[in-house]
Amino acid sequence: MTETTALSWPLIQQAQARIAGRVSLTPVLTSTTLDELSGARLYFKCETFQKAGAFKARGAVNAVFALSDAEARRGVATHSSGNHAAALARAAALRGIPAYIVMPDNSPQAKRAAVERYGGRITYCAPTLAAREAAAAELVASTGAAFIHPYDNLMVMAGQGTAAAEFLGQVPQLEAIVCPVGGGGLLSGTAVAAKSLRPGIRVLGAEPAGADDAARSFETGRLQPAPVPHTIADGLRGALAERTFAEIRAHVDGITRVSEESILESMRALWEVLKIIVEPSGAVPYAAVRRGHAGLAGQHVGVVLTGANLDLDRLPWQAA
């Protein structure tokens, strides 16, 4: 698989063709109750109903099926807190190759179980980026597997961009799209796809205040070091890469920080009003638009609910 230097609309179109029939077309839900709270017309893109329970299925399938037979023969490997791990394990199973997955030892049990269901071979490590990268490097060296980074990979980024392309096909009147940002793969793909299809649309990222390297990088114009993340949104604890930051700088209109309290309030509101399960990371973009905080009043706003994988026996609002 040969990578070019930048994400492009043709790469996203190729991803659309490659993943067709291998991922779900996810629904869009609306709620007048949530509209009234935000002062905007909200459309929720429910990647919570995606294969493996998150948008990550798109990028993983695209990356795995973009590999040549020779590249794929020894399998694929990655490190991930959970959603990319399960998505890659599923994509590998579809192609009939092994998946070697490094996961932090504090990953939610629901995400561990999903990887195991798809046949992924898990290696646990300490919950730091350095430990994840070191363990993944050891796996690649010992197995010869192709490494598929959770977000710093053009084929992954292109696959994630298919969600926005699909969204605009379903709701062409969107004036803005808000999605969460951790490592930046989804935000990069969303921005390139949305701006290619509708140049005037606004694309906004949303990030926990306790893991705000993307917001600081965007504000300063330079890639900022990631802090030790302090957030319940485990899927957003990753740090931007040079590749994803370049796309965000070029195409994204802003990044909003949200508090832990607002993440929990938004997560619970989505459960109670939309009647769907949304994990903390998936609730972050709604937290950014809830009660009009993102300056989108009166607009048609797309909100990407990215995943639904969490431990139902340990709901955050039930914590002692």
Contact 235, 306 (CB under 8 A): yes
Given a cut of 90, is residue 225 above it in pLDDT? no
Q: Distance between CA 139 and CA 120 in Å, rounded?
A: 13
- pLDDT tens-digit readout, 236-293: 888 899 999 999 999 999 999 999 999 999 999 999 999 999 999 999 999 999 977 7
Contact 88, 60 (CB under 8 A): yes
What region, left, alpha or beta, does residue 144 occupy, with left being phi > 0 and alpha being psi -120 to 50 degrees?
A: left
Contact 78, 85 (CB under 8 A): yes
Give the total residue count for the chain.
320
- pLDDT tens-digit readout, 96-119: 999 999 998 888 788 888 899 999
Given a cut of 50, is residue 8 above it in pLDDT? yes
What pLDDT was estimated at residue 320? Answer: 43
- pLDDT tens-digit readout, 140-183: 999 999 999 999 999 999 999 999 999 999 999 999 999 999 99
What pLDDT was estimated at residue 4? Answer: 57
- pLDDT tens-digit readout, 11-58: 999 999 999 999 999 999 999 999 999 999 999 999 999 999 999 999
Q: Distance between CA 168 and CA 146 in Å, rounded?
A: 33
> Which pLDDT band holds residue 2 (cuts at 50, 70, 90)?
very low
**Domains within the chain, CATH numbers bracketed:** 9-55+153-318 (3.40.50.1100), 57-147 (3.40.50.1100)
pTM: 0.94
